[in-house]
Amino acid sequence: MYRVWKCRSETGVSITMDRSKVWNTFRDYMEYFLIYCVLGWIYESVWCCMIYHRRGFINRGFLFGPWLPIYGIGFLIILGIFKLLKVSKPIPVFIVGTIVATVAELIASYIIDATMSEPMWDYTGYFLNFDGRIALVPDLMFGLMIWAAMCLIQPAVIKLQEKYRESRVHNICFIVITILFAIDLISRIWLGSNI
């Protein structure tokens, strides 16, 4: 037996929502967000710092934990755009992903310039860069990561979610990790940035 919420909208239409469906949808999308926050942190802290630039380990996030929220937000936006455009085949995923990531990075660079004291990245020495804001190699890398996320990682995540949807351990782990993320995010107000 499912618990159901009933309410009336402003227009007087009766709306019925299944609580378990609402919970599952919230949990699924929050899990997507957290997974891609962690994968973004791994990319930035391990690949960019340790392997590509050979600077050693650097926590690239502004939070203490192993997560970069911009990657989680970016993935949810990409997921929405791809659903809207009905993009699912590998080559169009890579092309559209690269274009969306490039445009988003360019817009973000102007927003960061307007709101922060210094830029968070500078591609000045990179091949085919535009004003140090975007460059060919990083944007192709973002396209490749979007392809991997949409064509490889996301289908596996969905299968795991479906398999363990009713698992108590799954729900407890989700709640604990979400609370840890929220504490880390809220603590930035008092402790300042980790950068």
Q: Indicate whether 95 pLDDT > 50.
A: yes
CA angle 88, 138, 62 (to 5 degrees): 100
Give just the sign of the alpha carbon dihedral 116, 117, 120, 124. positive
pTM: 0.80
Name the residue type at position 80.
Answer: G
Distance CA 157, CA 148 (A): 12
Phi then psi dihedrals of residue 194, to 5 deg:
-85, -5
| Residue 16, strand partner residues | 6
pLDDT of residue 1: 40
Q: What is the pLDDT of residues 96-154, one digit of tens each?
A: 999 999 999 999 889 888 887 778 788 999 999 999 999 999 999 999 999 999 999 99
- CB–CB of 184/63 below 8 Å? yes
Distance CA 10, CA 7 (A): 10
